[in-house]
Amino acid sequence: MSVPLTPEPSRDCPLCPRLVAYRAENARQNPDWWNGPAPSFGDPNARLLIAGLAPGRTGANRTGRPFTGDHAGWLLYDTLKKTGFAEGRYDPNGDDDLRLIDCMITNAVRCAPPQNKPTATEENTCRPFLVDRLAALPRLKVIVTLGDVSRRSILRTLGYPGSAIPAGHGVEGKVGDYTLINSYHCSRLNTNTGRLTAEMFEDIFRRAKAALEE
Ligand code: URA
């Protein structure tokens, strides 16, 4: 008998004490926010998976949808629309009709961490959900990782060492049946300093589209 997949943690996932405490603190201060693990968002038959780092406190932790309400969400969703992976209107409160096309967005760590920095233990504890997230996507072909934590976590999820595909924007490689394309994270820090431009980011998703057609 096969064991059912658990691609999403429960709303009150108890596994990481520090993140549970942070969630509780946020819930005390902002009881109308989501304040739980942000479920993956998009097409359950997607061939493209985008893996971010973790929900931002006032972004996905507030709205319950990855990259929704974060500075990073504007560039991500705009780029997905330009490259044919999304349609509809994006609203930073999630009050919209945005739809992802052949694409799903998840996070390496599903709960908001203090200072946007999950610990290595939290990454490891959350990884089984990522393992099952990948396993639950029957047509998955291409994975875009946003930043180093995500790149390493996806590699380990697939049973590879975190160094199997080196860091760097646009670095691409085969991991088992999948193509992994790494991007700098679309965070405010990277976009404000010019480390990541809209053109560089768009190029990643054009390459993802090309890899899907191979
Ligand atoms: N919001 C997310 O959901 N993930 C990130 O990596 C950053 C912001």
CA pair distance 24, 127, nearest whole angstrom: 22
How high is the pLDDT of residue 2? 77
Residues with CB under 6 A from ligand 1: 38, 52-56, 59-60, 66-67, 70, 72, 107, 146
In angstroms, what is the span from residue 67 Cα to ligand 1's centroid?
5
What would the pLDDT profile of 121-142 be if each residue is shown by its tens digit?
999 999 999 999 999 999 999 9
Instruction: Report the atom number in ligand 1 closest to the C-alpha of 53.
Output: 6
pLDDT attached to residue 135: 97
Name the 3-class secondary structure at 105. Answer: strand
- From residue 18, how far is each of 38, 61, 117, 179 by CA, in Å? 16, 15, 12, 34
pLDDT in tens, 4-43: 999 999 999 999 999 999 999 999 999 999 999 999 999 9
> Which residues contact residue 37 at a Cβ distance below 8 angstroms, ignoring those fewer than 6 apart?
8, 9, 10, 11, 13, 55, 110, 111
Whole-number Å distance between alpha carbons of 109 and 55 = 8
> Residue 1 — pLDDT band, cuts 50, 70, 90?
low
| pLDDT above 90: residue 88 | yes
**Domain boundaries along the sequence of the chain:** 17-212
Over the stretch 154-181, which tens digit does the pLDDT of each residue have? 999 999 999 999 999 999 999 999 999 9
* 14: Cβ contacts below 8 Å, ≥ 6 apart: 20
The fold of 17-212 is Uracil-DNA Glycosylase, subunit E (3.40.470)
Q: For residues 26 and 57, is the Cβ–Cβ distance under 8 A?
A: yes
CB 23 within 8 A of CB 10: no
Is the pTM higher than 0.95? The answer reads yes
Query: What is the 8-class DSSP label of residue 7?
Result: -
Tokens 């739980």 sit at which residue?
A: 36
| Cβ count near 173 (within 10 Å) | 14
> For atom 1 of ligand 1, which residue has the closest CA?
67
Backbone region of residue 185 per phi and psi (left: phi > 0; alpha: psi in -120 to 50; beta: other values): beta
Cα separation, 211 vs 45, in Å, equals 17
**Model confidence pLDDT, tens digit, residues 181-191:** 999 999 999 99
Q: How far is ligand 1, taken at its centre, from the CA of residue 164, in Å? A: 24
Phi, psi for residue 15 in degrees, rounded to 5: -70, -30
Are the beta carbons of 36 and 64 closer than 8 angstroms? yes
Angle separating helix axes 120-135 and 148-157, nearest 10 degrees? 60
